[in-house]
């Protein structure tokens, strides 16, 4: 049963605690990366056989497999995937930004160019569930940004195939090439390159703790989006909310992972009791009941606050990945929300709407990192390059100032570089 806490009787540590992935996998991951760097495709094929049970002759998905996948996907679902892709593209096109040029001072030209990262990779998890939605959410912003190559890796099934829906989503989203490899070994291949898998400039996408640790270890050689932790949902609700809706929304995240966190904060003790009862009732009906129950009993909680204002304060401190505002006037609270990955407003906007269909991205900061980081966006697939031009006359007017600054920092060669251009 999900636990109920009252802010008046609970320590801050209990209120703000969250799941910590305690297992240290850094040594194991380090050895996997070393193996892939040394043995390339041979290592990837061995890990695929070991972890997926598939003996592959080729790591790359063929054009024939892509075409067959489209034929296998139910037409209705294919239509839904295409519509979701359109929604995601429409939202993310608003994130495109231009560079700028400054010519306001005589004899000078300065500015910034916004350029796509040329070669990016998206990691799509396999394991206990498969996620065509992750393909769309990660690849479409890269396509909009103008990335020249979008590489995808994902674990295959024991027969060596990949879920047709994932391949169909990849084609719709504009993925260039797909490889049947997952886990830390896939991250290593993308960071260092193998005979078959190309080395990329940036890796994005969620994964388990081995994938997260691998991204951490290769960061610097390549860029990464974030170190993603277990999924989280926090709901702020007042008495206008329906218990059955709230319970369903909590469980929508709990079913992801035993380490997932589901939290409800309300100012109504009666609602808290009803949601606890409803959560237990709905748990018994879930196909992934075992996973969801482990999450709810270990990490789930209902917090009874003194007011909705206090609920907002607690939420800002937790900085959840997903935040639902299930109140009579959710827009009145939005201005006070400072830390959250993605906010869902009102009683008819459950978090799964964002996972699949609405348009905003579902790759979000977890573990409280919403205090300083953002959802995946077009910005993650571009870089900025600045430029400067001064005429001789313009530089002569500032050379002595540049030299004085350099001398103050003890960098005489810098000063000489400046003054050399204004010597008679």
| Active-site residue, from 213, 232, 278, 321 | 321
Q: Which residues contact 261 (CB under 8 A, 6 or more apart)?
A: 18, 19, 230, 231, 232, 233, 253, 295, 299, 300
Cα 360 to Cα 4, 6, 58, 88, 413: the distances in Å are 32, 33, 35, 6, 50
Q: What is the CATH number of domain 40-96+117-224?
A: 3.40.50.1980
| Active-site residue, from 92, 256, 322, 362 | 322
- The pTM of the full predicted model, rounded to 2 decimals, is 0.93
What tens-digit pLDDT sequence spans the chain (424 residues)? 999 999 988 888 787 777 666 678 999 999 999 999 999 999 999 999 999 999 999 999 999 999 999 999 999 999 999 999 999 999 999 999 999 999 999 999 999 999 999 999 999 998 555 789 999 999 999 999 999 999 999 999 999 999 999 999 999 999 999 999 999 999 999 999 999 999 999 999 998 889 999 999 999 999 999 998 889 999 999 999 999 999 999 999 999 889 899 999 999 999 999 999 999 999 999 999 999 999 999 999 999 999 999 999 999 999 999 999 999 999 999 999 999 999 999 999 999 999 999 999 999 999 999 999 999 999 999 999 999 999 999 999 999 999 999 999 999 999 999 999 997 7
pLDDT of residue 14: 80
By the 10 Å C-beta count (0-12 exposed, 13-18 middle, 19+ buried), 284 is classed as: exposed
DSSP character for 410?
T
d(CA 225, CA 203): 7
d(CA 357, CA 336): 26
Cα 319 to Cα 220, 296, 312: the distances in Å are 27, 19, 10
Question: Please, where in the chain does CATH 3.40.50.1980 lie?
Answer: 3-16+229-371, 40-96+117-224
pLDDT of residue 127: 56
Q: Is 321 a catalytic residue?
A: yes
Cα 231 to Cα 212, 223, 247: the distances in Å are 13, 22, 16
> What are the structure tokens assigned to 129, written together?
């569930």
**3-state SS, one letter per residue, for 240-301:** CCCHHHHHHHHHHHHCCCCCCEEEEEECCHHHHHHHHHHHHHHHCCCCCHHHHHHHHHHHCE
d(CA 99, CA 114): 5
Q: Are 250 and 282 within 8 A, CB to CB? A: no
- Tracing tokens 């700028």 back to the chain, one arrives at 100
By the 10 Å C-beta count (0-12 exposed, 13-18 middle, 19+ buried), 97 is classed as: exposed
Nearest to 397 by CA among 110, 109, 106: 106
d(CA 71, CA 288): 29
**Residue 193: left (phi > 0), alpha (psi -120 to 50), or beta?**
left
Residues across the chain? 424
Has domain 3-16+229-371 been given CATH number 3.40.50.1980? Answer: yes
pLDDT of residue 13: 78
Q: Is 347 a catalytic residue?
A: no
Q: Are 147 and 381 within 8 A, CB to CB? A: yes
């Amino acid at each position: 049963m999900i636990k109920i806490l009252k802010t008046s009787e609970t320590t801050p540590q209990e209120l703000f605690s969250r799941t910590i992935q305690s297992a240290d996998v850094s040594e194991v991951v380090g050895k996997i990366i070393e193996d892939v760097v040394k043995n390339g495709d041979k290592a990837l094929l061995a890990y695929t056989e070991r972890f997926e049970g598939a003996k592959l002759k080729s790591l790359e998905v063929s054009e024939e497999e892509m075409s067959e996948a489209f034929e296998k996907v139910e037409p209705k679902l294919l239509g839904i995937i295409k519509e979701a892709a359109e929604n995601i593209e429409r939202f993310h096109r608003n994130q495109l930004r231009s560079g700028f040029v400054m010519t306001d001072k005589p004899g000078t030209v300065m500015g910034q160019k916004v350029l796509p990262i040329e070669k990016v990779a998206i990691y799509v998890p396999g394991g206990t569930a498969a996620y065509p939605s992750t393909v769309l959410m990660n690849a479409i912003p890269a396509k909009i940004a103008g990335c020249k190559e979008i590489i995808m890796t994902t674990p295959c099934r024991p027969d060596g195939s990949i879920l047709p829906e994932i391949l169909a989503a990849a084609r719709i989203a504009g993925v260039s090439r797909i490889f049947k490899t997952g886990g830390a070994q896939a991250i290593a291949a993308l960071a260092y390159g193998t005979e078959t898998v190309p080395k990329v400039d940036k890796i994005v996408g969620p994964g388990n703790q081995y994938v997260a640790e691998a991204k951490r270890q290769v960061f610097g050689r390549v860029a990464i989006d974030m170190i993603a932790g277990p999924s989280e949902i926090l709901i702020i609700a007042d008495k206008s909310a329906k218990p059955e809706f709230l319970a369903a929304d909590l469980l929508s995240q709990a079913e992801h992972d035993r380490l997932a966190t589901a939290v409800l904060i309300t100012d109504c003790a009666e609602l808290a009791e009803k949601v606890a009862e409803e959560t237990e009732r709905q748990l018994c009906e879930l196909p992934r009941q075992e996973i969801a129950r482990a999450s709810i009993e270990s990490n789930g909680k209902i917090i009874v606050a003194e007011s909705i204002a206090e609920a907002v304060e607690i939420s800002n401190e937790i900085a959840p990945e997903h935040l639902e505002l299930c109140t009579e006037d959710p827009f009145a609270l939005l201005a006070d929300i400072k830390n959250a990955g993605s906010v869902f407003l009102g009683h008819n906007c459950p978090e799964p709407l964002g996972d699949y269909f609405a348009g905003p991205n579902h790759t979000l900061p977890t573990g409280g990192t919403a205090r300083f980081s953002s959802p995946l966006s077009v910005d993650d697939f571009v870089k900025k390059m600045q430029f400067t031009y001064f005429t001789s006359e313009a530089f002569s007017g500032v050379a002595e100032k540049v030299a004085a600054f350099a001398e103050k920092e003890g960098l005489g060669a810098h000063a000489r570089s400046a003054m050399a251009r204004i010597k008679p």
